[in-house]
Amino acid sequence: MDDRTVIAFVASDADVAQTALADLTARYGQTRVEDASVIVALGGDGFMLDTLHGTQGRGLPVYGMNCGTVGFLMNEYALDNLPARLVAAEEEVLNPLRMTADCADGTTREALAINEVSLLRAGPQAARLRISVDGKLRLSELACDGALVATPAGSTAYNYSAHGPILPIGSDVLALTAVAAFRPRRWQGALLRKSSTVRIKVLNPEKRPCMAEADARSVGNVLSVEVRSEPGVSHRILFDPGHGLEERLLREQFA
């Protein structure tokens, strides 16, 4: 970033984020996203994901300031010295996952996910899933609440709460993780190459319906999902020096 940074501020609906928006725009002014050279997002991780998805294709870096709860993708909020922080910020480039979901009504739905794509039970009974990787059957039947594929950036989110591994940024690896696996009991998930294509098929979907989610955007009555990395789409995220994703992922493993 240079010192001629033109900032577009965006904020979640939370009161604290709206107050921050008013304070920051009073201090630094406001620019339309179409005319900006950087976006400053005020909120939590969920709002950061929404901002990245909503500005996809513009090529603009996004600098988040935490006005939410966890804030793993955000920097610390401060009113002062924002232009200097933007100039000094370090950039991480993330490729999302592309989900292709085949539905019971015959439609196919696509979506991109920066954190993870998950296939989850949508009824009272456990899901029964069949998993293939790069066209080869790897697990003929997994009885579980669901399964997910996570990126390194998303590995500390739902993946981590499902006891999946934390992945280093830049590792070119994806995590395939079961959610509350019942059988096989000893299956601990898998680490896959970033270039892998994962296909998860729902067994007996009439009795055991499932839904798919791509960063919390849901698709119901899913028969199968295909998940792969999408190298044609890039998201640029800015972090204060020494507080980038690599350092945050490392700290998380020693918490």
Catalytic residues: 45
Alpha helices in 73-211, H assignment, sequence order? 82-88, 158-161
Alpha helices in the chain, H assignment, sequence order? 15-28, 45-54, 82-88, 158-161, 245-252
Contacts of residue 41, defined as CB under 8 A and 6 or more positions apart, other chains included, come to: 10, 11, 47, 48, 51, 62, 63, 64, 65, 74
Contacts of residue 251, defined as CB under 8 A and 6 or more positions apart, other chains included, come to: none
The answer to whether 203 touches 141, Cβ cutoff 8 Å, is yes
Chain centre distance of CA 4:
30
